[in-house]
Amino acid sequence: MKFIDEATITVRSGHGGKGCVSFRREKFVPRGGPDGGSGGRGGDVILVADSHLVTLIDQTYQRIAAAQDGKPGSGANRSGANGAEKIVKLPIGTVVTDADSHEVLADLDDPGARVVIARGGRGGRGNAFFSTPTRQTPRFAQPGEPGEERRVRLELKLLADVAIIGLPNAGKSTLISRISAAHPKIADYPFTTLIPNLGVVRVQEERSFVVADVPGLIEGAHAGAGLGHRFLRHVERSRALLHLVDVSEADPEAAIEAWRVVRRELALYDPLLAARTEIVALSKIDALADRESTLGAMKRTFAPLGVEPLAISAVSGEGIDPLVKGLADIVERERKAAAHEAAQVEGMGS
């Protein structure tokens, strides 16, 4: 399935129904008064976060989301029916912005989250509403209020606990297929991964976390080079980063430069990303001839930077268990910190 993470749609709420001008006409009521009913309210357009959706592909084919207009009022004080609302289901993690003003309107980051993106117009009052002792035969009614119409931009940001990052061909796809049930495309050429892949990693029966295999970044990615910032956004929501560095060439200087390139791109895209908890893993160690010597040189090269990399092979499985356990511990710690922060905010608001 093609991964669609951007779309622009037009949302249009319903117009309110117009009020009715009517007077009672009954055989034995010679002076019947006004009995025009009010119009119904126009339907709202509502966005809902649906956990069953993973892309915005539906919105690329359905560019307009319109609710129903309210029905007009009628005689005998009958109000018009309200227009039906329009529900638009979107994947969890969708950020909604006004396409013209760029104002952020909603962030659907919780399952079942709902937001009214366009409110229906109110129905107009019928002439019965305007009847008073001094104005007993009003011959006018209100028109319904118009609904709202706006263009909104939808941008999906994956909700993953751990984002797997690195240069193209660093071994990200192979790793996610090893530690989860995800089955991304794997090949020996750059940019094999053209869409992000999500996988659930189970550590114990009741302990798991979600990983995202982010397509390879290159120098200039923050400005759109390669796959660029289109996929950098998927790193933003992660609790931790797993940075894979390909060491199959056995060149410590090349390895550390590869690490620096990606780190620079993260910082240039969003400085907060550079401060995210990061585990560095030296991947493809199964390809090393003199493994002990090469890995020793690699770790000595990273040491002055305060980085203690792990050595792994997604092919042979070496180093995978301690890596997964370390990631699970980080995710658990970050979840607790986020829950504590949310509790404090809620306490201040109450």
Least confident of 34-43, 140-149, 197-206, 272-281: 197-206
- Chain centroid, CA 272 distance in Å: 18
Q: What integer pLDDT is reported at residue 102 of this predicted model?
A: 92
Q: Is 326 helix (H, G, I), strand (E, B) or coil?
A: helix
Share of the chain above pLDDT 90, in %: 54
pLDDT digits (tens, 9 = 90+) for 309-347: 999 999 999 999 999 999 999 999 988 888 878 777 767
Q: What integer pLDDT is reported at residue 182 of this predicted model?
A: 62
List the one residue out of 33, 40, 26 whose CA is nearest residue 138.
33
**What sign does the CA torsion over 188, 235, 91, 338 have?**
positive
77 has a pLDDT exceeding 50: yes
Q: What integer pLDDT is reported at residue 101 of this predicted model?
A: 94
| Nearest-angstrom CA–CA distance, 334 and 81 | 50
| Nearest-angstrom CA–CA distance, 107 and 250 | 44
β-strand pairing of 86-91 with 162-165: unpaired
Q: What integer pLDDT is reported at residue 191 of this predicted model?
A: 40
| Nearest-angstrom CA–CA distance, 340 and 49 | 24
Nearby residues of 262 by Cβ (< 8 Å), 6 or more positions away: 165, 166, 167, 217, 243
Q: What integer pLDDT is reported at residue 214 of this predicted model?
A: 77
More confident call, 79 vs 109:
79
Amino acid at position 206, single letter = E
Asked if 36 contacts 165 with a C-beta cutoff of 8 angstroms, the reply is: no
Q: What integer pLDDT is reported at residue 228 of this predicted model?
A: 43
Domains and CATH numbers, the chain: 6-156 (2.70.210.12), 162-349 (3.40.50.300)
| Nearest-angstrom CA–CA distance, 245 and 301 | 13
More confident call, 26 vs 202:
202
Asked if 285 contacts 313 with a C-beta cutoff of 8 angstroms, the reply is: yes
Cα–Cα distances (Å) from 12 to 42, 113, 302, in that order, read 10, 20, 55
**Averaged pLDDT for residues 88-112:** 92
**Averaged pLDDT for residues 158-165:** 85
pLDDT grade, residue 218 (50/70/90)? low
pLDDT grade, residue 210 (50/70/90)? confident
pLDDT grade, residue 111 (50/70/90)? confident
Q: What integer pLDDT is reported at residue 44 of this predicted model?
A: 98
Q: What does the block give as tokens for 284? A: 């493809």
Q: What integer pLDDT is reported at residue 97 of this predicted model?
A: 95
Q: What integer pLDDT is reported at residue 4 of this predicted model?
A: 61
Cα–Cα distances (Å) from 94 to 41, 125, 180, 262, 341, in that order, read 28, 38, 24, 25, 23
Give the HSE-up count for residue 248: Cα atoms under 13 Å, Cβ half-sphere.
Answer: 13
274 has a pLDDT exceeding 60: yes
If you average pLDDT over every residue of the chain, what do you get? 86
Exposure string for 314-323, b = 16+ CB within 10 A, e = fewer: beeeebbeeb
| Nearest-angstrom CA–CA distance, 22 and 25 | 9
More confident call, 96 vs 221:
96
268 has a pLDDT exceeding 50: yes
Q: What integer pLDDT is reported at residue 57 of this predicted model?
A: 82
